Amino acid sequence: MKKISLFKSYVSMRSILEVCVVLLKSNYGKAYLSEGPQVKAFEEEFAKKFGFEHASAVNSGSSALDLAYELIGISSGDEVVMPVLTHPASGLPVVHRKAKVVFADIEEDLNVSVEDVRRKITSQTKALVFVHFGGNNRGLKEMLELAREKGLPLIEDAAQAVGSEFWGKADFTCVSLQAIKTLTSGDGGFLVCKDEEMHKKAKRLRWFGYDRELKQKLGDTDITEPGFKYHMSDITAAIGRGNLRALDWLVAHRKKIGAVYMRHGISAPIWFAYTLSPKRAELIEFMKSHGVHTGDYHYRNDKYSIFGGRQALPVMDRLESQYLLLPLHHGVSVGDVERICALLKQFNESK
């Protein structure tokens, strides 16, 4: 019986070769291990691929989010509205800045309820966050309109969105290249800023506050703002550059198997498929007994005390024990999806 994992990392042969070249050249003093020409090339290729003016490579999607909040100027007394169903990385930088995370409810498709976001906006609101849950972009257009209406900056947590058809439209777009993402560099990320000055500042802040290019020309230069050590290494960039060349194939494959899921009535954004089951715990064990790994993955974030405690969010309250993620990646075949759907049907008919 073939076992099917919920997630699977992809590393192209080109990535392996690119990394080997960096390591070999470095051994002879002819290449960087830290940030160097590979990072610069990756930034340019990534921006060109997705039609961005520029992109700042960082060491994780979490760092990209942290930089976005820093650039907006989130501080004590501010509020940031975001969906309750997301990774804690979406909200933790807000807490670090002594500001308040305000959670909005979700819709049936697990993406944020834009109407609930509207209800949660107050005079203290400093920014809005849209999360592409599973790569789902439903609601982004409405969030962009709401942000413009209210004069608020919008952050896209696009950690799971690379390869989807509508993303990268907000003031700040935060991308994750973590191991199980469609496009991975092992770990890493990008921050895409609409504003040119914000982009320049992001590049300074990711490297202690230095203007790195100026420092390389003139030697030690002044630091006028406190920065971080968030830059990407050339090893990481080499992996990402190799995988970027395979992205079209990876996305096409995901869309192909996603279409099979959808023919069976199962939702399938770009990064994972999901179903709803009132008997989720039983279904997880049933699928596991047949070699199929499923799971609930991210959780409602108001369960974590750091965010202030559980809130009444009707749709999240109803769905939190029901949503189940299904395998959707390069290692899953059309036949695998047919088998998964047949198992789901078998389970549902037996209950």
Per residue in 63-102, pLDDT (tens digit) is 999 999 999 999 999 999 999 999 999 999 999 999 999 9
Q: Quick: pLDDT tens for 144-161.
A: 999 999 999 999 999 999
Query: Which pLDDT does position 214 carry in this prediction?
Result: 65
Query: Which candidate, 202, 204, 208, 201, places its Cα nearest to that of 189?
Result: 202
Query: Which pLDDT does position 239 carry in this prediction?
Result: 98
Mean pLDDT for the stretch of residues 153-182: 96
Share of the chain above pLDDT 90, in %: 88
Mean pLDDT, the chain, rounded, equals 95
CATH 3.40.640.10 correct for 13-244: yes
Query: Which of residues 242 and 163 earns the better pLDDT score?
Result: 242
Query: Active-site residue among 126, 181, 201, 203?
Result: 181
Question: Is residue 280 predicted with pLDDT exceeding 80?
Answer: yes
Q: Quick: pLDDT tens for 49-65.
A: 999 999 999 999 999 99
d(CA 75, CA 126): 9
Query: Which pLDDT does position 216 carry in this prediction?
Result: 65
CATH 3.90.1150.10 correct for 247-350: yes
pTM for this prediction: 0.95
**Domain assignments of the chain as residue spans, ordered by start:** 13-244, 247-350
Q: Is 217 a catalytic residue?
A: no
Instruction: Provide the pLDDT confidence category of residue 213 given band limits of 50, 70 and 90.
Output: confident
